[in-house]
Amino acid sequence: MKKRTSTYIFVILIMSFLSCRGQENKQSELIKTPKSFKIIDETEGDLDNDGISEKVLVYDTEKVTDFGTERQIFIYKKKDNKWELWKESVGAILPSQHGGMMGDPFEGISIERNCIVINHFGGSRQKWNYTHRFRFQSEEFQLIGATVHFGSPCDYFFTFDYNLSNGKIIYEKETEDCEVENSKIEHEEMIRKLETLPTMNGFYPGNTVLKFPKSETTIYY
């Protein structure tokens, strides 16, 4: 009986130890949220090709702008089993009311092929959708891809895709006439390489203008 009791006590001690270790590991992974900030999205993945995942948090800061509250991106690296702040970015996530009648335009953030991918959606009758891709290079997160969808039914829709890494731009516009059930498609391509790629910190979706030469086509990405 004493032997069985001793075994029970030993098992309980081992379980308690493992539980404490688990709680310590969990606590070591906690990130202190800045005062008045609120997490609205997060994701994990390898951003610098070192085989170790980083953590990306999107915060609503409660700082009031002309279009709602400001958002910020904080990127953390793991060091000694703790998350340490690595990079900060302001601007790449639109404010909380920038979506017009659609309200909050922020759809989500993800990590795909070592890149940060940010999606927005908004508008009223004419809807718009932005996808921006940022890759860590030259010690910064630089914009390497932008895709824009814009338009409304019985009017027109266009898709703009810009690969900033190689400069290739593809633009396609479909004009739709619902009364006669007819549509017209325009297609344009060109190469425009930038000397310096925009960085995620300070980039504002929809604020960059691009005009096609010998054309009335103007895009905001």
Q: Is residue 19 part of a domain?
A: no
Rounded to two decimals, what is the model's pTM? 0.85
Q: Is residue 98 part of a domain?
A: yes
Task: State CA 195 to chain mean position distance.
Answer: 24
pLDDT of residue 29 exceeding 70: no
Q: Dihedral through CA 131, CA 136, CA 141, CA 142, nearest 10?
A: -70
Q: Is residue 14 part of a domain?
A: no
Task: State CA 202 to chain mean position distance.
Answer: 14
Query: How do residues 85-112 score in pLDDT, each as one tens digit?
Result: 999 999 999 999 999 888 999 999 999 9
For residue 80, report the phi and psi dihedrals to the nearest 5 degrees.
55, 45
Question: Binning pLDDT at 50, 70 and 90, where does residue 178 land?
Answer: confident
Amino acid at 35: K
What pLDDT sits at residue 195? 95
Parent domain of 131: 32-220
CA distance 117 to 195: 22
Structure tokens at 39: 């997490």
Task: State CA 193 to chain mean position distance.
Answer: 23
Of 86, 63, 90, nearest in space to 76 by CA: 86
Question: Binning pLDDT at 50, 70 and 90, where does residue 47 land?
Answer: very high
Partners of 45 in the β-ladder: 54
CA distance 221 to 215: 17
Amino acid at 137: Q
Q: Is residue 6 part of a domain?
A: no
Amino acid at 77: K
Count of domains for the chain: 1
Q: Of the ranges 17-21, 147-151, 208-212, which one carries the lowest mean pLDDT score?
A: 17-21
Contact 221, 148 (CB under 8 A): yes
Q: Is residue 83 part of a domain?
A: yes
- Tell me the pLDDT of the chain averaged across its residues: 88
What pLDDT sits at residue 16? 45
Instruction: Find where tokens 């539980």 sit.
Output: 19
pLDDT of residue 23 exceeding 90: no
Partners of 84 in the β-ladder: 77
What pLDDT sits at residue 214? 82
Q: Is residue 22 part of a domain?
A: no
User: Average pLDDT in the 142-154 region?
Assistant: 96
Structure tokens at 121: 């959606």
Q: Is residue 180 part of a domain?
A: yes
What pLDDT sits at residue 209? 96
Contact 56, 42 (CB under 8 A): yes
- How is 140-158 classified by DSSP, letter by letter? EEEEEEEEEEEEETTTEEE
Partners of 188 in the β-ladder: 171
Q: Is residue 114 part of a domain?
A: yes
